Structure 1
Amino acid sequence: MEGIEEDEPPGKTPFFRARNLERALKLKNLYIKFEGAGITGTQKDRISKLHVLKAREKGYDTISLATCGNYGASISYFANLYGMKSVVAVPEYYSGDRNDEIRGNGAEILEVPAKYEDLVEFMRDKSSSEAWYDSSPGSVNSEIDMEGYETIAYEIVSQLGRAPGYVSVPLGNGTTLAGIFSGFEKMQRRGVIRKIPRFIGSSTPNGNPIVASWKRKDHTLMELDPSIIRETKASEPLVAYRSYDGQKALNALYRSNGMATYVSDDEMYRYSTLIEHFEMLSVLPASASSLAAVDHVISRKSEPKDIVVVLTGRNKTWTTQ
């Protein structure tokens, strides 16, 4: 572990034109940015390595977080790689699909009888009292998340050769969409691109405050009633009554003249199957919501513009173990 010197964040994920899906869905200029190609299978790798390196630089020996699974698998992997301890808190009633993997990465798992949002607050307090580095969304360290996800925007422009017309991203906490938007915004300010793409946000009707706020035409993020939240195996990565970077994501939707839509569980499974059938990528249903959203909102009659669908996670059958 001591010999590791390389400190660049993970990235440079595959980007390609999805011609088979274009034909199947009667869309034009459809591109896929496959974040599932990261070592632990999701876009979280981009920020996890940054957090672990920052924690080590600041002298911490333990990094902690609240997660529903994917972020925990990523943080625990990089913590183990760089010789740090990790403590991962998960809601005890969630599926726990990646708990064995997280343990295999050397992490201590805390199963807590709480909703995810309450668990984030619990870990914020516990991290402070235990002198752990808190890598949860909304923590004092969360600006690193924007830095990590901005690189997706930089790669899209580098790989496509220009800014696309649309970028579609799944919405949970809103961090990924907000970070990608920030990357495009910075490139526009530097004169690298002329126009920021229109953003499309996709999430579950089981409960997401970003989509709910946008549909109500609210510019201030609303918080949902926790009692209306309905987690399912498909929607777990997307459900929230409080989105920690939701205001940033909502701002990005308005500032890019974007849009947001709900995608049902059945549609998530269907579009995940379509992606596997036509492009041979095994994708988490929640990640496939970004393609479903494009199919919902892009008019076939409008002038063809480049559409980039960000697929944030591969199927759980691929793991780091």
Structure 2
Amino acid sequence: MEEITEEEKPPGKTPFFRAHNLEKRLKMNGLFIKFEGASLTGTQKDRISILHALRAREGGYNTISLATCGNYGASISYFANRYGLKSVIAIPEFYTGERVEEMRFNGSSILEMPYKYEELVDYMRDRSSDENWYDSSPGSKNSDLDIMGYENIAYEILSQLGHSPEFLSVPVGNGTTLAGIFSGFEKLYHSGEISSVPRLIASSTSNGNPIVASWKRKRRKVLDLDPSQITETSVSEPLVSFRSYDGQKALESIYRSKGIATYVSDSEMVNYSRIIEKTEKLSVLPASASAMAAADKVMKRLGYRGEVVVVLTGRNRSWITQ
């Protein structure tokens, strides 16, 4: 892949800080936030979108394609536009998010289709092959870049905290972000840079997620859910799924870290999002706030007051500094 210049780099070293106000509110101790909402489009997806855009440009493609429910589409559309690529983004026609106009502003062609997200991923994989588009969807032949991109979050946390945290809480939908961060910590461990890896706390929606469902059933292989048994809402949409494309990697990461997976309700997501905004002045996507809700519940359940890092994504591009 061509070298990324200084001008092309997405925001590295996203903010990392001890959330003193939130600690007091939740009666926790050693609570740190890694705020991915400070990236260009307010999401950790920027870390992988730039890699896909550069690979597409290097490979001679003029169009990059994707199936999405929002954040990833906004990120891909931004970087496609930045690097002179066309983008074709498929979304479920019932998608209720606010980022479609952002995609259109970035010049994306939007395909609104009567499919569930997982069905759209399959559709776009076939369509991309037929049209000679670069497929950046999860589970595509290019998805090796996803783990690589998210490993950098682990490296940044080590640099900013100075050591590996005891617990790390991350939301899971497809499981890619969690698997990538843990892969980074494992590489640091095997290289001797840290003496232990963090225990993972995987949060997702009680409306349906294969990773949490499989862990709770003590399965070592992630199982798809019955599509008729999941419930998509405007709050849970980024997390709800009947198939997680990197679910097996995420499930293995949870087991290897001696971690925990837990469900969070829509009302809890919204509540914790509001608490975070009130105490730390951060605008956080409710689905992302599930990681804070899960960290709070798990740490209290364990009766533990040790150190925990929570990875949060922004509601939009803007965020309020402390």
Q: Could you state the TM-score of these two structures normalised by the residue count of structure 1? A: 0.95
Q: Who is 2:107 aligned against?
A: 106
SS in 2 for 1:120: helix
Aligned-residue offset at 1:96: 3.8
Is the counterpart of residue 315 in structure 1 residue 315 in structure 2? yes
**% of aligned pairs identical?**
66
Amino acid at match of 1:277: K
Amino acid at match of 1:314: G
Q: Residues 151 and 317 of structure 1: is their aligned pair in 2 closer, same or farther, counting only changes over 3 Å?
A: closer
Q: Who is 2:280 aligned against?
A: 279
Q: Who is 1:180 aligned against?
A: 181
Q: Who is 2:128 aligned against?
A: 127
Q: Residues 49 and 301 of structure 1: is their aligned pair in 2 closer, same or farther, counting only changes over 3 Å?
A: closer
Is the counterpart of residue 201 in structure 1 residue 202 in structure 2? yes
Q: Residues 220 and 301 of structure 1: is their aligned pair in 2 closer, same or farther, counting only changes over 3 Å?
A: closer
Is the counterpart of residue 56 in structure 1 residue 57 in structure 2? yes
SS in 2 for 1:88: strand
Please give the per-residue CA displacement for 1:33-63, whole angstroms capped at 9, x wherever unaligned.
Answer: 0001111011100000010001101111110
Q: Who is 2:14 aligned against?
A: 13
SS in 2 for 1:230: coil
RMSD across aligned positions (CA): 1.4
Aligned-residue offset at 1:26: 0.8
CA distance in 2, matches of 1:30, 1:251: 25
Q: Could you state the TM-score of these two structures normalised by the residue count of structure 2? A: 0.95
Amino acid at match of 1:294: A
CA distance in 2, matches of 1:198, 1:183: 14
Please give the per-residue CA displacement for 1:262-321, whole angstroms capped at 9, x wherever unaligned.
Answer: 00000000000000010000101000000000111114875643200000x2124749xx
Amino acid at match of 1:298: M
Please give the per-residue CA displacement for 1:131-170, whole angstroms capped at 9, x wherever unaligned.
Answer: 0000000000001000100000000000000000000000
Report runs of 4+ in structure 1 exceeding 6 Å deviation.
Answer: none
Please give the per-residue CA displacement for 1:88-129, whole angstroms capped at 9, x wherever unaligned.
Answer: 000001114111110000110000110000000000000000
SS in 1 for 2:98: coil
CA distance in 2, matches of 1:160, 1:298: 20
Q: Who is 1:219 aligned against?
A: 220
Q: Residues 193 and 5 of structure 1: is their aligned pair in 2 closer, same or farther, counting only changes over 3 Å?
A: closer
CA distance in 1, matches of 2:317, 2:168: 27
| 1:40-51 aligned within 5 A | 40-51=41-52
Aligned-residue offset at 1:210: 0.2
Aligned pairs, number: 315
SS in 1 for 2:40: coil
Contact 2:41/2:317 (<8 A) preserved: no
CA distance in 2, matches of 1:315, 1:146: 23
Please give the per-residue CA displacement for 1:222-272, whole angstroms capped at 9, x wherever unaligned.
Answer: 100000111111101000000000000000000000001000000000000
CA distance in 1, matches of 2:190, 2:197: 10
Aligned-residue offset at 1:11: 2.4
Segments of 5+ residues of structure 1 without an aligned counterpart are none
Contact 1:9/1:47 (<8 A) preserved: no
